[in-house]
Amino acid sequence: MAFTVRDFEDFVRLLDKHPHWLEALRQRLLTKELLQSPKTLRGLSIRVGKIDKSLRSLAESVKTLSESVAALTEAQRRHYEEFVAYRAETDRRFAELREEVAAARAEADRRFAELAEAQRRTDEQLQELIRAQAQMQATLSRFGQVIGPAVEERMIRALREWVEGQGGVMLEPVFSIALDGIGEIDGVTRIRLRDGAEAWVLISVKTKVWPRAIRDFVDAILRNPTAVAGLRSEGIGDPVLPIVFGFTLDRHAMDAAQRARVGLLISAQGMLVPPTLWSLEKGAPIEE
């Protein structure tokens, strides 16, 4: 017969009265898997809870990581901006440095050019000076060739006048002697004095007589062993009469001649300081 709704309702009331029938019916109707579903669901719920907790922890970690990444990104941005600014400043300074170097190079080139031009002008002036000096030397040489004999003639005339005025006589012509490494003695002759004694006359000729010329004559000739040896090799020995001849003189030349005990003979004025006999061996005047 057919199972009606009424029958179903009666069956439900029976199950309510007999709960153990409900368990037996459940075991008949449900599979083993369905019967274990609540336990499984509770396990799944626990696992889901753990997963949820892990997810929340992961989300927190992700949030922290995101914040770290954001902070790192911000730091990277600041560093990049600082690098860009530093690079711009460096480029600016290098540009300024290049300009300064270029300016310094240009200034150095300009100064080197000026120096080269100055050197060129100096070389030209030096060459001009050398030419002028050569011309002057040639002029002086020609002048000396003309004036030298005239000066020597005046010196010889003045010396002869003085010797004869002293009652003496010149025994030899006046000649010059060149001493190696020292120079030339302008006039040398031998005379006989009034008392019959003989002496050699050594003469230094100057256009103008300065005190230094007298000192140099004494030091370079009368007291110089090399000069004395050279004179001795020419047969000239003691005694000698040293004389400095000139056309004009410095006001202190007479004092220098008197202190040195050297004769001072001026062309137009005669013997202003009479000479004293010297000993070349002793390098000093002969005391009377």
What are the DSSP calls for 76-93, one per residue? Answer: HHHHHHHHHHHHHHHHHH
| CA-wise closest residue to 233 among 158, 169, 180 | 180
Is pLDDT at 135 greater than 90 in this prediction?
A: no
Distance CA 278, CA 221 (A): 11
Which of 42-51, 66-75, 77-86, 89-98 comes out lowest in average pLDDT? 42-51
Average pLDDT for 276-288: 87
Is pLDDT at 28 greater than 80 in this prediction?
A: no
Is pLDDT at 229 greater than 70 in this prediction?
A: yes
Distance CA 85, CA 135 (A): 73
Query: How does residue 124 score in pLDDT terms, banded at 50, 70 and 90?
Result: confident
Query: How does residue 159 score in pLDDT terms, banded at 50, 70 and 90?
Result: very high
Asked if 276 and 286 touch (Cβ cutoff 8 Å), the reply is yes
Distance CA 148, CA 154 (A): 10
Long-range contacts of 173-180 (CB under 8 A, 24+ apart): 174/203, 177/230, 177/231, 177/234, 177/236, 179/226, 179/227, 179/230, 179/231, 180/230
Instruction: Write down the pLDDT at residue 146.
Output: 39
Q: Look up residue 235 and give its amino acid.
A: G
pTM of the entire predicted model: 0.52
State both tokens at 195. 């008392």
Q: What percent of the chain has pLDDT over 90?
A: 37
Pick 72 or 107 by higher pLDDT. 107
Asked if 200 and 237 touch (Cβ cutoff 8 Å), the reply is yes
Is pLDDT at 140 greater than 50 in this prediction?
A: no
Domains and CATH numbers, the chain: 166-285 (3.40.1350)
Question: Which of 78-87, 174-183, 206-215 reaches the highest mean pLDDT?
Answer: 206-215
Query: How does residue 30 score in pLDDT terms, banded at 50, 70 and 90?
Result: low
Query: How does residue 32 score in pLDDT terms, banded at 50, 70 and 90?
Result: low
Q: To the nearest whole number, what is the mean pLDDT of the chain?
A: 83
